[in-house]
Structure 1
């Protein structure tokens, strides 16, 4: 069991979210699902809590009601090795009512924030060449979906 597990609060659609996320990411699975019973505050038979695993990382979800909403203050960072990977996660996670934003950020249809980031970005931004890093940052700030080729060109590679 991992020491720290992200716990996501949904308003009635935790089961749908669990199923969606486990289809988006490879090596993912649904864990234990606990449904509300007659004595609970939720609709009997609906998901109360559930665990799921995305590429080995455990998450938990609850159908807690409308009291709390997701914000950009918390996001999930998806490290992508290729442009195809960036493109895939960008499109799939923002589909069906999601919202694309700047610098690789998006919200999915449940309101959860994600950062879809090519792995090379960190290397380019932490270059010992401050001018190169600045050019990369400037290029990134103009993008919505991050483009590896454009970032590399900005770095002079």
Structure 2
């Protein structure tokens, strides 16, 4: 089966590619494992993997194709690359935040960004965020931006209140 996208992100894992792909497919509704490839004895002196162990796993999340590679400990994932999840409402923000952060390091979670248990960084972003932080009224947008910078998981109601200049502590 040929890869349908012109550009496919490839995520390098030590040996957790299959577990990571299965984790992501369990979270996103329109998702599937497409195929697995396996190491053979060819090149074992270079890759060091046992013949028959998973080399790559191709999977799709919401129509985006990814490849996960069991490449060994040479390279690791960093926050320099992240995947944005566009969320229609707070229920989606909560769902994706809770699912993807399950088992991940708490300290990396800020401004809607989180690192999952496999080291992949995600941005869980409500669709309205760009409108709030880059709107035509700079004063309102600055308030929303300031509120966002104080949050871990983004809270749409709090961002909108900040944008409008409403004190959330007032009745």
Contact 1:29 1:52 in 2 (8 A): yes
Aligned length: 157
Instruction: List alignment gaps of at least 5 residues for structure 2.
Output: 167-171
> Does residue 28 of structure 1 match 2:36?
no
The ranges of structure 1 where at least 4 consecutive aligned residues each deviate by more than 6 angstroms after the TM superposition are none
Bigger mean CA offset, 40-49 vs 100-109: 40-49
Among 53, 69, 75, the alignment partner of 1:62 is 69
> Does residue 14 of structure 1 match 2:17?
yes
TM-score (norm 1): 0.95
What is residue 80 of structure 1 aligned with on the other side? Answer: 87
- CA offsets 1:121-145 (integer angstroms, 9 cap, x no match): 1111121001010000010011000
What is residue 40 of structure 2 aligned with on the other side? Answer: 37
Decide which structure has the larger Cα Rg and report it: 2
- What is the rounded CA distance, in whole Å, between the counterparts of 2:50 and 2:21 in structure 1? 18
- What is the rounded CA distance, in whole Å, between the counterparts of 1:8 and 1:142 in structure 2? 30
What is residue 150 of structure 1 aligned with on the other side? Answer: 158
What SS class does the counterpart of residue 26 from structure 2 fall into?
helix
Q: Measure how far apart 1:43 and its partner are.
A: 2.2
Q: Measure how far apart 1:155 and its partner are.
A: 1.2
Instruction: List alignment gaps of at least 5 residues for structure 1.
Output: none
TM-score (norm 2): 0.88
Q: Cα RMSD over matched residues?
A: 1.3
